[in-house]
């Protein structure tokens, strides 16, 4: 896995980005499956998501076992994230309870940050056989508040298929699958009545302060 990551980073760093006119595209509304992996520990987690790209709202629900080199841990999440407001709601529908928390980092892994640098276009599969290749645009940039960097690849329709976030201490890979460009159930992005008026919960420094740390 380390070798694959190294090769990918090398390709992106050495790609020729001659077209300075490239501008980050805007992600459409999406429903699908998201998977997050932390390379060094081997931990992975996945679940269903619904994303409103205009209001920047994300509903994420998982009921999957997180696997790692050390142990397997079942971690059920039901989260409603308001990126524009910088808050998330940890929802327990069974007990009709809710915790409101602050996102200390504005990181939104479903969007290309506006100041991203365009690296190149790459083709997965065959570039010469019609219908047998997928063209991706590759972007990169820093995440100063997390002391990390990112590389994200999107389709011509601006679907973010994969992202990599890496720092001196960790490397996270995010993959989106079974994507449909619609919001199938708008109610998922509506705050449940039992969450209304909830006070922000104070959290220890470094806990659940970014999208990535919600998983791992």
For residue 87, the domain's CATH number is 2.50.20.10
Q: Which residues of the chain carry a pLDDT beneath 50? A: 1-20, 64, 206, 208
Query: Both tokens of residue 96?
Result: 């009709």
Number of domains in the chain: 1
User: What is the pLDDT at residue 59?
Assistant: 95
User: What is the pLDDT at residue 51?
Assistant: 96
The C-alpha atoms of residue 138 and residue 153 are separated, in whole angstroms, by 4
Predicted confidence (pLDDT) per residue in 146-174, tens digit: 788 999 999 999 999 999 998 888 888 99
User: What is the pLDDT at residue 140?
Assistant: 93
User: What is the pLDDT at residue 11?
Assistant: 46
User: What is the pLDDT at residue 107?
Assistant: 81
Instruction: Output the CA torsion sign for 67, 70, 72, 77.
Output: negative
> What is the domain range of residue 110?
2-13+21-214
User: What is the pLDDT at residue 180?
Assistant: 95
User: What is the pLDDT at residue 6?
Assistant: 41
Which residues does residue 82 pair with via DSSP β-bridges, in sequence order? 57, 87
Cβ-based neighbours of 129, under 8 Å, separated by 6 or more: none
């Amino acid at each position: 896995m380390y070798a694959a990551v190294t090769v990918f980073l090398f390709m992106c760093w050495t790609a020729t980005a001659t077209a300075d006119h490239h501008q980050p595209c805007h992600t459409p509304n999406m429903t699908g499956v998201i998977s997050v992996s932390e390379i060094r520990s081997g931990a992975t987690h996945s679940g269903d998501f619904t994303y409103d790209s205009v209001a920047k709202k994300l509903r994420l629900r998982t009921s999957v076992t997180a696997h790692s080199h050390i142990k397997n841990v079942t971690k059920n999440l039901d989260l409603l994230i308001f990126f524009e407001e910088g808050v998330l709601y940890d929802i327990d529908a069974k007990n009709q309870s809710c915790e409101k928390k602050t996102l200390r980092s504005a990181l939104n892994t479903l969007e290309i940050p506006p100041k991203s640098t365009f690296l190149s276009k790459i083709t997965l599969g065959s570039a010469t056989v019609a219908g047998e290749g997928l063209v991706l645009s590759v972007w990169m940039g820093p995440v100063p508040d997390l002391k990390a960097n990112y590389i994200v690849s999107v389709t011509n329709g601006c679907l973010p298929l994969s992202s990599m976030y890496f720092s001196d201490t960790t490397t996270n890979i995010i993959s989106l699958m079974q994507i449909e460009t619609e919001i199938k159930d708008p109610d998922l992005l509506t705050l449940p009545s039992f969450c209304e008026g909830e006070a922000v919960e104070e959290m220890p420094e470094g806990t659940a302060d970014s999208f990535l740390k919600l998983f791992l």
